Chain A
Amino acid sequence: MEQFFTQLTNGLAVGGIYALIALGYTMVYGVLKLINFAHGDLFTIGAYLGLTLLTSLALTDHIGGLAGVLLLAVMAMGLVGIIGILLDRAAYKPLRTSPRLSAVVSALGASIVLSNTVMLVYGPSTRVYPQGLLPSQVFYIFGLPVPVMRFVILAASIVLMIGLYVFIQRTKIGTAIRAAAIDQDAARLMGINVDRVIMLVFFIGPALGGAAGVMVGLYYGQITFTMGWTYGLKAFTAAILGGIGNIPGAMVGGLLLGVIEALGATYISMAWKDAIAFFVLILILIVRPTGLLGERVAEKI
């Protein structure tokens, strides 16, 4: 029972991270019908920028652990968001009217460029996040232990997701984003600047991915320049699981995938952890290709 509970909370924490990354895939797909394969690398950049800010600014020394970490996470999000906009400008915007396959190839190229840039700047070896920034205590729910860190990670991702959901559902700009995702020309006829909407989506998605990068650094303590590939694929799976293009779907898909993976690794085999995640992807594509919450059939790539 204790093991189950431990893995459940662990799965939820990792799932929250998957969900945040998945939101970036799903939002870009929603508006542009493009899978941004470089998104995983933006997540990696978030983790590295978080590390740089953490070590160089020493914010946590001045304003305390939790506040410092929060502030620097926000800064990393902003920076990754800006990189996201630049990525769109450089790799996707020139191809907006080209066949979709061109943009996909460009995305794969951008992914290689970004991950190699990270390697050149930070070096190919694993980097370690400073420890002890967040409280390492354990608290108990019904007598079962939950590390505070795990709780903080899950809470942070849920707060970000709720914030995004409210923004998309309740604000005028959010409604404009949804309209542009449905029909770009009709959105233009409403007076919506669709280019601006795309820019915003390329800010928000990568910013959330960047936050996830910082969380992984804090949670696992170490980061590598190739980690965007695995996390990207997992989050992509989560986005498909929930229904690509569907924002609540990405949230549900991420959390679910995290839990399935954690429980599968415990009760089936640790070595099969990744295989279990991708088995879920294959299963969902066969049984329900629109995803759990998706109404639209995902078109090719």
Chain B
Amino acid sequence: MLEVKNLHVSYGNVQVLHGIELSVDQGEIVTLLGANGAGKSTTLNTICGLVRPTDGEIRFDGEAIHKLPAFKIVSRKITQAPEGRRIFGTLTVQENLDLGAFTSRNQHRVKKSLEWILELFPRLAERRDQLAGTLSGGEQQMLAIGRALMSNPRLLLLDEPSLGLAPVLVRQIFKTIRQINEAGVTVVLVEQNARVALKLANRGYVMEVGHIVMADSAPALLENPDVVQAYLGAGDL
């Protein structure tokens, strides 16, 4: 479904991705692991078109999308819930969700998406008319994910959905990610919280300073001694 080949990205003179190769199949949950600055968010932002690659290509269902501007990627059915949530704080929850469906023309479809999202996140239903900036961190993350689902995407990119959330909320969010995936949405998940991510994912990639250093099935990565030592540690969730 998604093919990333030989992806190079630079910010000014600093090269941050050195030939990333990854692929995602329909229906999978794939996780990208790695330390801060490994290039995980950059990879997602390049797929979304916010960052232009200097070399390499990104194909979605065979179509090269790495030259498209970000706003056109959405209608290819790829959306992202970005790092730090990036919700529109001075707009209401409902307006945030409406913006998620900005490119959708089919009002019936939008209504169904909205119903589904409010079912996934009942808390958002209670707070529809509230300003998004007044939501708690967990609710804001729900809104960010819900907003990304409004356009009925086939591929959902999630950047650190557990960031800054209490463990009980992390479990809840991850449970919902599984539900979203079971509804047919393919998921690429960037996470610091490697153990939770690998338990959820089918496959994982490990990134280090702009390279992919490991690619394997999630259960295999969970038992890989290098991964355990570097990213899992002891006494994690």
Contacts and interface: CB of A to CB of B under 8 A. Distances in A.
A191 B102 contact: yes
Interface string A148-188: 00000000000000000000000010011011001101111
Interface in A189-203: 189-194
Given A175-B99, A176-B102, A189 B48 contact: yes
A189 to B, nearest CB: 5
A190 B79 CA distance: 8
Given A179-B99, A191-B103, A186 B71 contact: no
A146 B45 CA distance: 59
B82 interface: yes
A190 B74 contact: yes
A178 B91 contact: yes
A173 to B, nearest CB: 10
A176 B98 CA distance: 10
Interface residues of A, number: 18
Interface in B85-144: 86-91, 95, 98-100, 102-103
Centre residue among A172, A182, A185, A191 by max chain B CB count within 10 A? A191
A114 B165 CA distance: 53
B80 A182 contact: no
A183 B50 contact: no
A191 B151 contact: yes
Contacts of A193: 69, 71
19 contacts: A172-B98, A172-B102, A175-B95, A176-B99, A178-B91, A178-B95, A179-B88, A179-B91, A182-B89, A186-B87, A188-B71, A189-B50, A189-B79, A189-B80, A189-B82, A190-B103, A191-B151, A192-B71, A194-B71
B67 to A, nearest CB: 15
A182 B88 contact: yes
B192 to A, nearest CB: 21
A202 to B, nearest CB: 18
B74 A186 contact: no
A192 B151 CA distance: 12
Nearest to A189: B80
Contacts of B66: none
Given A182-B89, A183-B86, A190 B100 contact: yes
B189 interface: no
A148 B161 CA distance: 60
B131 to A, nearest CB: 11
Contacts of A190: 71, 74, 99-100, 102-103, 147
Contacts of A295: 90
B197 interface: no
B82 A182 contact: no
Given A182-B91, A189-B79, A190-B100, 14 more contacts: A175-B95, A178-B95, A179-B88, A182-B88, A182-B90, A185-B82, A186-B82, A188-B49, A189-B50, A189-B86, A190-B102, A191-B102, A191-B151, A192-B102
